Structure 1
């Protein structure tokens, strides 16, 4: 799994228990998956369709640095299925895992748009073409 982004847990990210609010973490994950998918599918109109069961394994506290990891599970006709893990950068302890996140490429009318992709592409490889 590749860990692309780090987030610093700040006071505004806390829940009443003074640990990282799960909704904030899900917001970060959703944004990271969207950005990753938009780049992979080369379509800015890419949206989240589905998230499977979310497993909160531990928490984070103010001042912690968390990192978000994403792995491609499958390329569909108009979709990209990802897996995600978030861990504490310092302790390497897993905070959350999500086995399946489905992102869908849309056309100008908001309908699924086939993307024609079958494998992960890196920007450096696209620039060489």
Structure 2
């Protein structure tokens, strides 16, 4: 799994228990998955269709730095299935895992559009 993004847990990210609010963490994961899919599919019109079971394994506290990992599970004809793990950057303790996040490539008419991709591409390889 490649960890692309780091986030610093700030006071506005906390829940009433003083730990990272799960909704904020899911927002960060959704944004990371969308950015990853946009780059892979070379289309800015990508939407989240589905997230599988969300498994919270530990919590994060104010001041922690978390890193978000994304990995391709498979390429569909109009979709990209990703998995995600978020961990504490300093301790490497896993905070959350999501096995399947389905991102769908959208065409100009707002409908799913085949993307023709079958494997991970890196920007350097496209140049």
1:1-129 alignment, distance < 5 Å? 1-127=1-127
Consecutive aligned runs of 4 or more in structure 1 exceeding 2 Å deviation = none
**If the length of structure 2 is used for normalisation, what is the TM-score?**
0.99
User: How many residues are aligned here?
Assistant: 127
Q: Distance in 2 between matches of 1:99 and 1:125?
A: 27
User: 1:12-59: CA deviations, max 9, x gaps?
Assistant: 000000000000000000000000000000010001000000000000
Q: Distance in 1 between matches of 2:76 and 2:60?
A: 34
Q: Distance in 2 between matches of 1:15 and 1:58?
A: 14
Following TM superposition, by how much is the alpha carbon of 1:109 offset from its aligned partner in structure 2, in angstroms? 1.2
User: 1:60-94: CA deviations, max 9, x gaps?
Assistant: 00000000001000000000000000000000000
Unaligned runs of 5+ residues in structure 2 are none
